[in-house]
A and B are shown apart, each in its own frame.
Chain A
């Protein structure tokens, strides 16, 4: 029954394919299949990229491209204009550079901690511990929350009159300016983003751990291998494809950080937690003199960064596969 329904369904397309084959020829028939997808990608991915390029090469505050004067590379010139490249305060758009430095610093610290903590959590959750299902749920739960909700919860805890300071005062300590001191605010943006997303990466690593054949561990046990040796010689090498995926996804997500931080600290105090995406948003949309061209140029700089990360991912994946084949 099911097969006849399927056959009927596919037969519906037959005249269409026959028409394509007749007029396009067999070699070009593939275009017919990828056509719908290409159209969607073209409209929602490639066209916006093209429009972004147009904005980056034009100036003024008008929204319609036809009303914007061509300025060539002026927007990039504004972003990259510095008297001394070793001192960002001398740059014309110093906040852009602060945002880049903050993003790099955030990405390195957050991704390193994220991968390590996710790995440790996955290793623990892969063991036969009491209430394993419950703990898996606990770690995954924050992933289900909206980033805005996450940020509001933590803002409520961390604000000067918040729950944490109330606790400190109740214990006789002085309240701490968690979100109005630059270093503390940066620390909490890292902490909150790890808290919110760790469950997702833990899940990927947990799936990888469960795919490692049990007999490998049994053989190691019979050979009296130490736990550390088992981890470094069996678990980590076999988990490497998952670790690479986690590393790259976490890195891309870190570079794109915006929502949680924007709600939690608003990029402050000052520009202590202003990241590149917030700079783009504020330049293009939040300031009432909308500098779309400058925002588009900054977003292209971000795109170059993300493309580099994707390239690194591809290289790492290929190297890992080549290593596997060599083994």
Chain B
């Protein structure tokens, strides 16, 4: 009798083990993105007994530097939240045959699906954008008021903003008026506004006049003290450095960063000063930032593709997506939800205003900005831009030398990447 009981218990245990599938999700968060996903995962587990979802919250650096190496070695999680959308596309798993309703996916995420696809002809479903982001500036309104300088209007140029922040810096004894994140992605927004196409007619990277003009202006603004040298000049190589830290500490009146910083600003600035997001300043060609964001992607390394597709269906559903967007205070990439509007119920007035500015700004994004974001090798220009422009800023090279070197680095990187 005892032996029979033991045998039945073992049979049940083995059967349970055979059914249980574990999905590992590698996630980074700017705010509470992974925490919200973990809450949703618990609900998914309750509705899908036998599937366990483990959310591994990691630093952004891990997603950038370690995940690609893991994937190249044939290892990695089942799902990841990534920002190098095109660069990692060869590792994405096509779940179009596994999701419940592929048409719904196309209807809700059709505009951003091409960013995840390895080629233009591909029609697969590899994941979805967890949020849409947009690069753009923040302004310390209190400093402008103290300096009695009026905020430039929505169509103001970069030159007008530089002049205004210089006045603020002078009146309030700041070291410099403005700073940009040390990032080629952030740099690309003003470059497109100054007329850069970045990709030529054949779809290859090119350093055109607009891009070169922006480099010249940006280096010039550092040399004349309009830009805070610490952010770009304070590091070597292509290391990312954000300017929001300087903004929070009241060291500059304006920074160029992006919509993903809204929560951080609300948390870190609190009531120290009034801050506002403003539309991207204009150049002769556009008033554009760069769209972007993070995407949840299914990965080929998964041994449980069905469960992965089920979980992706769950978190991409309008209900889950609305919850995620509302709690993380991001701009939705879900077209259905974007049309209906998101209720940012617990957002502070400054957060809600900033979200409004960024959401409205999506309409002003230049076509080149979308094309650039979706270009597979966009990092081949982003990273050398940071390295070479910094060299010009700190005086290691002239602007012309920096541009020549940037061009050579870019060509080398694309050549290697396409081997």
Contact = CB atoms under 8 A, between A and B. Distances in A.
B236 interface: yes
Contact of B387 (A95, A273, A289): A95
A289 B380 contact: yes
19 contacts: A61-B419, A64-B73, A92-B412, A95-B387, A161-B249, A265-B235, A267-B235, A267-B239, A268-B233, A268-B234, A268-B236, A268-B237, A270-B390, A270-B391, A270-B396, A287-B413, A288-B68, A289-B414, A290-B68
Given A94-B405, A266-B234, A278-B237, A288 B84 contact: yes
A272 interface: yes
B238 A286 contact: yes
Contacts of B69: 63, 285, 290
B184 to A, nearest CB: 10
B105 interface: no
Contacts, number: 119
A31 B238 CA distance: 49
B229 interface: yes
Q: Which 4 A-B pairs have the closest CB atoms?
A: A267-B236, A63-B72, A268-B236, A60-B419
A182 B236 CA distance: 11
Contact of A271 (B68, B229, B236): B236
Contacts of B414: 289
B260 interface: no
Given A271-B391, A291-B413, A282 B237 contact: yes
Given A61-B416, A274-B236, 8 more contacts: A89-B397, A182-B396, A265-B236, A266-B235, A286-B65, A287-B238, A287-B413, A289-B87
Contacts of A94: 405
Given A62-B72, A63-B72, A268-B390, A287 B233 contact: no
A249 to B, nearest CB: 27
B199 to A, nearest CB: 16
Interface string A242-276: 00000000000000000000000111111111100
A59 interface: yes
Interface in A271-302: 271-274, 278, 282, 285-291, 293-294
A265 B394 CA distance: 14
Interface of B: 64-65, 68-69, 72-74, 84, 87, 175, 229-230, 233-239, 241, 249, 251, 377, 379-380, 383, 387, 390-391, 393-397, 401, 405, 408, 412-414, 416-417, 419
Nearest to A271: B236
Nearest to B386: A287
A179 B235 CA distance: 9
Contacts of B87: 288-289
A42 interface: no
A77 interface: no
A294 B379 CA distance: 18
Interface of A: 59-64, 69, 78, 89, 92, 94-95, 160-161, 177, 179-180, 182, 265-274, 278, 282, 285-291, 293-294
Given A59-B419, A92-B408, A273 B236 contact: yes
Given A62-B72, A182-B394, A286 B239 contact: yes
Contacts of A60: 416-417, 419
B412 A78 contact: yes
Contact of B233 (A69, A89, A270, A278): A270
Contacts of B401: 89
Given A285-B65, A289-B380, A270 B419 contact: no
Contacts of A266: 234-237, 239, 241
A275 to B, nearest CB: 10
A173 to B, nearest CB: 15
A304 B241 CA distance: 34
B230 A282 contact: no
Nearest to B414: A289
Given A60-B419, A287-B379, A291-B413, A160 B230 contact: yes
B417 A61 contact: yes
Contacts of B394: 180, 182, 268-270, 272
A269 B65 contact: no
A321 B195 CA distance: 71
B416 A291 contact: yes
A180 B232 CA distance: 9
Contacts of A268: 233-237, 239, 390, 394
A266 B72 CA distance: 27
Nearest to B88: A288
A212 to B, nearest CB: 45
A257 to B, nearest CB: 13
A308 to B, nearest CB: 26
A267 B238 CA distance: 10
